[in-house]
Every structure is written in C-alpha cells, then in structure tokens.
Amino acid sequence: MSAAGLLEADQGAEENAAARQEQGEGGPQAPAWHAAAPDPARFPPAFLAFLRESGISVDNYRSDGAEVRRFVRVNPRSAPAAVCLDELRWQLGPTIEPVPWLPGFFSLSCGVKIASSSLYTHSHIYGLDAAS
C-alpha cells in the first residue's frame, strides 16, 4: 500500500472511532493516561503498518512529556481471588488501572516498585514493558 493509502486508512479509522464514540459505541473508554494522539504523519508508512498489524496504538509514541506507564500481567495460573483489583491497589498503590482492552493486564505509574510486593514474589503478577 502506498504512503498516501496508509495515511488515508489511519485517518479513516480515526474518523470511524470518533463517530462511534459520539454515538456511544466503541467499547471501553481509554483511561486519562492514554490521551492525545501524536500526528501519524511524522512516522514512516512501514512503521504505521507494523503498528496496525501488531495491534499497537500510535498513541504509545506520543512525545508530550506525559508519564510513561508500567504494566503488569496477572499470572493466568493464579487463583482469581489472590489477584483482584483491590489487592493490586493495596500492594501497588492507587495508580494501578486495568487495561480496558486486555483482560488480566494493568497499567501503573512508572515509579511503582513491584519487586517487593508479595504478588510479585509469589509469581502472581509479571512486570512487562513494550518489548514483552
């Protein structure tokens, strides 16, 4: 696909998403930390295609000085009661929020240390970064 075609596809997807949100559609709303999207025109078309194919939001590449979030994943082998949102907040603090489109994944402030929590030391959660 040409560069113009990729940009048109990105713009069309953004317009469709905006229309769905105006109509009350579109599923879970993004949390505040997932704000203002960068201008896709500043990225090479091949990179934009890779992001789309990989399900990665271009919003992750904003450069507005916003905090870079950390992520944890709940071990699927853990008992659900051991890793509820209240327990996560009790051990890791109030900044932890579920990732709306990815069950079992949570976002938290970059300053939170997870290694000393019992959820981490007992392998109930994993720390993740973009490469994971």
Cβ–Cβ under 8 Å, residues 106 and 99: yes
Of 40-44, 54-58, 120-124, which range is least confident? 40-44
Confidence (pLDDT) at 29: 57
Q: Which amino acid is at 9?
A: A
More confidently predicted of 10 and 52:
52
User: How many helices (H) does the chain have, and how many strands (E)?
Assistant: 4, 4
Confidence (pLDDT) at 121: 93
Confidence (pLDDT) at 92: 93
Confidence band of 65 (pLDDT split at 50, 70, 90): low
Q: Which helix (H) or strand (E) holds 131?
A: none
Mean pLDDT of the chain: 74
pTM of the model: 0.51
Cβ–Cβ under 8 Å, residues 33 and 69: yes
Confidence (pLDDT) at 125: 93
